[in-house]
Structure 1
Amino acid sequence: MLDLDRLPLSRKQLRSIGRATARINVWHGSVRSGKTIASLLALVIAVANAGPSGLIVICGRSLQTIERNCLEPLQDAALFGPLARHVQHTRGATTATILGRTVHLIGAADTRAEGRLRGLTAQLAYVDEATLVPEGFWTQLLARLSVPGARLYATTNPDSPRHWLKTTYLDRAGELNLRSWHFKLSDNPSLSPEYVADLAAEYVGLWRRRMIDGAWCVAEGAIYDMWDEARHVIDTLPEICRYWVGLDYGTTNPFAALLLGEGVDGRLYVCSEWRHDSRATHRSMTDAQYSAALRKWLANWRHPAAGPDTPPGIAPEWTFVDPSAASFSTQLWADGYPGIARASNEVADGIRSVAALLAADRLLVHESCVGLLDELPGYSWDSKATERGEDAPLKVDDHSADALRYVVHSTAHEWRRNTHHVQT
């Protein structure tokens, strides 16, 4: 059913599969480097040889990521051959079947997920994207692996070298019953040179060092170290074919809204900005006043190149609202404002989306957006968060920068598919 000799595996993948017999087995390194396939094969072999006692669990950030990263590959006959027929799962279900054994699927988005492990006795566990699960969940999972010979398999991309997985486990491999394997892109024999080059071009700065080079490195200094006013600030806008708005809500802090447009050249343009700083103006605004001001701004905005006969006003397809601003979203709904959506607030992923666009000169900012232009050069990593092994922006002068992150990342499914339309 599973003939490793017939699979296109590298020597490192085969070696890691054969040696994954420790209590804790961790595959870490670059994206697409072959670590997930190797770890899943090791898990399947363990399932085939497992005794009847103890549960088998697969854990990840969410049920959706478990399905995408673990179960879908296992069901791919091109990857796993006849084995794929022996992996059954109904999308959305919290159990799957692998080689006739029931496997429990557990999402671990926050510390509350630890409670799902209480009372559980496991013999095999697999953790997808281990650096993204809470430390308490990982610790509790290890405690639940109490059957003799129990094993944990885990994969992860690198994070901060001060992350708990690195300092408490990987760095202490000699003291623990733990084996780990570090993978780079060169360890995946199935990738073409063209694909590797394209993949490397999609990551810049911190994410290139982690996701492509496979390095555990700290987030420090300027977040957008590729920012260059000479390259990224413009005084004219091309024809814009569609618009979106992103906004960061503030009462005592500034309120910032950005109008993002997709140009006919395929690039993204921050066309306009509306801000209100209650501390600077000594005047606070209610949700109703903010709603009226936002609608007035959009109703009065006109493309700078529009002729005098062109009526003002723009209707964005969607407005992505700060997820913490529930009361303001309610006010917008009450005022009949169309196309309201909760902004995507995956901070690191949002920053990476903006950084990738800036590095490729696919995101440009109009000179009128002075708040954003003031913030971007100083938008920096929080050194105190870095000391804790976390990646977080310094929460100072970040309101327009957050609004930019919201609207760019929330529309990623739109502009990513149009990448090949960019004109140079």
Structure 2
Amino acid sequence: MQLSSKQNEYILNATHRWNIKSGAVRSGKSFVDTAYMIPFRIRAVKGKPGLNVILGVSKESIERNVLQPMRELYTDKLIGTINNRNISHICGEEVYCLGAEKISQVAKIQGSSIKYCYGDEIAKWNKEVFQMLKSRLDKPYSCFDGSCNPEHPTHWLKEFLDNPDLDIYLQQYTIFDNPYLDPEFVKQLCKEYEGTIYYDRLILGLWKRAEGAIYKRFADNPEVFRCEIVDQIDQATEKKQFRKEDVVSIELAIDFGGNKSGHAFVARGYTDDYRDVIALASRRIKAEDESEDIDSNMLDKLFCDFIEEVIEKYAVFTKHGDYVEYCNAESVFWDNAETVLGNSIRNAVEKRYPWIAVKPAKKRAINDRIRCTTRLMGAGRFWMTEDCSSLQAAFTDAVWDKEKEKDERLDDGSTDIDSLDAFEYTIERDMKYLIQEVDDV
């Protein structure tokens, strides 16, 4: 088991009450913990009063990020699974494994002394959980190891780490501190995050505020992302082209605007193995007289007409009479905040296109959706046809809200958030396939 000089430095200096590593993804922050620190700490306090605890965003993330890597090194004889009492047996000792996203999830250890705690993805925790933890590390030998990726510079964890009066050892990482990464992987990851806030945070390990254009690479030159869907590739052209038959899955989404606001339609295609993501078409629908809303019947018709346009221009299908035997236009996702409108859309689509599944959007975390899209753009895997003028404008105009401490997309009516949401509804269920590391932060 080889450790980098940075990891060995941590082992030598992590002798404080709070020992935390902050910095880039894939920089080796967590490996030194799972390979050495956690089993060492648990053995060091064996038999002493107090609980051993591992806190993460969820029990699932603890299993994925902490227990499974340890199990690969030490086998399941030493590293157990989490039982129905939220306990895993590690090196012969009971260790509570609890999600820290909500204070209610750790209520069962309130009032208990903690002799050792390991923290995974600390910056994503509920602040109250961290406050509770500070009072529970109450033994002379109590200590904490943990790791995190940086967030904005006014984050509550950053304020804690910057307190000179506390017994904290803070070690900071860039991705270049891991000598065991494939240089080509590092090169590609840097390329994917280039020009975004994620480069500063997840490559350089800096606590930086999200400012300016969200999709800067796109906003600077939308034409770089232009493509055509054709029946036959023209070898003489330099334009990016895809054959219709290469688009294996087409899915559509609708985001409902608020009162007297517009509605957004988007169609998205995938090539095989989720390699390329293609924005095929988009529409921004607003009433000509903005003093009146578009009623549900009109909206149903407009959206079904949009589906028909997408199918006629981009879909591959076979029919026998009126029966559609095959069509790669597969699903529609609707904004689940508007159940009445959503049910109306579902009924209209299922009646007109019975082979298309109609489902409510999942509405995953917006920043996960943004990060996935920016990485696709950076990796050269996102494309857009000329039928996406409204979506192009939405990507170009999207900015971070400079008035908010947390990372939030500006949503004050000055930009077309609805089209961004609609596009994201078509990819959010597949983010773990599109970008394998989207949850690995």
Instruction: Please report the TM-score for the alignment, with normalisation by the length of structure 1.
Output: 0.84
Per-residue deviation, residues 372-424 of structure 1 (Å, max 9, x unmatched): 22222210001112xx2x1110013211012223323333345458xxxxxxx
**Alpha-carbon displacement from aligned partner over 1:332-367 (angstroms, at most 9, x marks no partner):** 556646241533422222111111222333222222
Residue 247 of structure 1: aligned partner: 254
**Aligned equivalent of 1:383, options 381, 387, 402:** 402
Q: For residue 384 of structure 1, give the secondary structure of its aligned residue in structure 2.
A: coil
What is the rounded CA distance, in whole Å, between the counterparts of 1:280 and 1:225 in structure 2?
34
> Residue 116 of structure 2: which of 119, 124, 127 is its match?
124
Instruction: Confirm or deny: 8 A CA contact 1:34 1:188 kept in the other structure.
Output: yes
**Within the alignment, does 1:15 sit opposite 2:5 as a pair?**
no
Once the two structures are superposed, what CA deviation does each residue of 1:89-129 show, in whole Å capped at 9, x if it has no partner?
A: 15887221111111111112345446455333322111111
**Matched residues, number:** 401
Structure 1 counterpart of 2:42, from 26, 29, 47? 47
Q: Which amino acid aligns with 1:212?
A: I
**Out of 126, 131, 137, which is 1:139 matched to?**
131
Q: Distance in 2 between matches of 1:117 and 1:383?
A: 38
Given the superposition, is the C-alpha separation of residues 413 and 30 from structure 1 closer, same or farther in structure 2, using an over 3 Å criterion?
closer
Closer, same or farther in 2 for the Cα pair 1:26/1:266, shift >3 Å? Answer: closer
**Residue aligned with 2:425, SS:** helix
Structure 2 distance, partners of 1:323, 1:135, is 29
Q: Secondary structure at the match of 1:16?
A: helix
Q: Does 1:206 align with 2:200?
A: no
By how many angstroms is 1:176 displaced?
0.3
C-alpha contact 2:346 2:358 (8 A) present in aligned 1: no
2:187 to 197, 208, 227: 197
**Distance change (3 Å), C-alpha of 1:34 and 1:410:** same
Paired amino acid for 2:211: E
Three-state SS of the structure 2 residue aligned to 1:72 is: helix
Determine whether 1:230 maps to 2:223. yes
Q: Which moved more, 1:240-249 or 1:57-66?
A: 240-249
1:130/1:154 contact within 8 Å kept: yes
Write the distance in 1 (CA, Å) between the matches of 2:106 and 2:285. Answer: 41
Check whether the contact 2:391–2:419 (CA below 8 A) recurs between aligned residues: yes
Question: What's the counterpart of residue 257 of structure 1?
Answer: 265
Of the structure 1 ranges 296-305 and 220-229, higher mean CA displacement relative to structure 2 is found in 296-305
Q: Which residue of structure 2 lines up, in the alignment, with residue 318 of structure 1?
A: 331
**1:143 & 1:105 partners in 2: Cα distance?**
18
- What one-letter code is carried by the residue in structure 2 that aligns with 1:118? Q
Give the Cα–Cα distance (whole angstroms) in 1 for the partners of residues 314 and 343 of structure 2. 35
Is 1:273 matched up with 2:282? Answer: yes
> What letter is aligned with 2:38?
L
Within 2, Cα distance between the matches of 1:118 and 1:189? Answer: 41
Q: Could you say what secondary structure the match of 1:33 adopts?
A: coil
Residue of structure 2 equivalent to 1:401 = 420
Compare 277-286 and 236-245 and name the one that shifted more: 277-286
The yes-or-no answer on 1:359 pairing with 2:368 is: no
What is the rounded CA distance, in whole Å, between the counterparts of 2:263 and 2:432 in structure 1? Answer: 26
Q: How does 1:132-211 map to 2 (within 5 A)?
A: 132-166=124-158, 168-172=159-163, 174-204=164-194, 205-211=196-202
CA distance in 2, matches of 1:341, 1:334: 13
Asked whether the 8 Å contact 2:79–2:89 carries over to 1, the reply is yes
SS at match of 2:154: coil
- Whole-Å separation in 1 of the counterparts to 2:288 and 2:211: 29
Partner in structure 1 of residue 72 of structure 2: 76
Helix, strand or coil at the partner of 1:9: coil
**1:202-251 deviation digits (Å, cap 9, x = unpaired):** 33321122111212211100001001222224565531321112332323
Give identity over the alignment, percent. 24
Select 2:387's aligned residue among 351, 368, 386.
Answer: 368
Looking at structure 2, the residues matched to 333 and 93 of structure 1 have their Cα atoms a distance apart, in angstroms, of 42
Q: In structure 2, what is the Cα distance between the partners aligned to 1:58 and 1:106?
A: 6
Instruction: Indicate how the Cα distance of structure 1 residues 236 and 117 shifts in structure 2: closer, same or farther if over 3 A, else same.
Output: same
Quote how far apart the aligned CAs of 1:21 are.
2.3
Against the structure 1 CA distance between its residues 317 and 15, is the aligned structure 2 distance closer, same or farther, given a 3 Å change threshold? Answer: same
Structure 1 residue runs without a partner (length 5+): 1-6, 418-424
Taking structure 2 as the reference length, what is the TM-score of the superposition?
0.81
Secondary structure at 1:176 match in 2: coil
Match of 2:234 in 1: none
Cα displacement (A) at 1:61: 1.2
1:338 to 320, 342, 357: 357
Deviates more, 1:179-188 or 1:155-164: 179-188
- Measure the CA separation in 1 of the matches of 2:392 and 2:253: 16
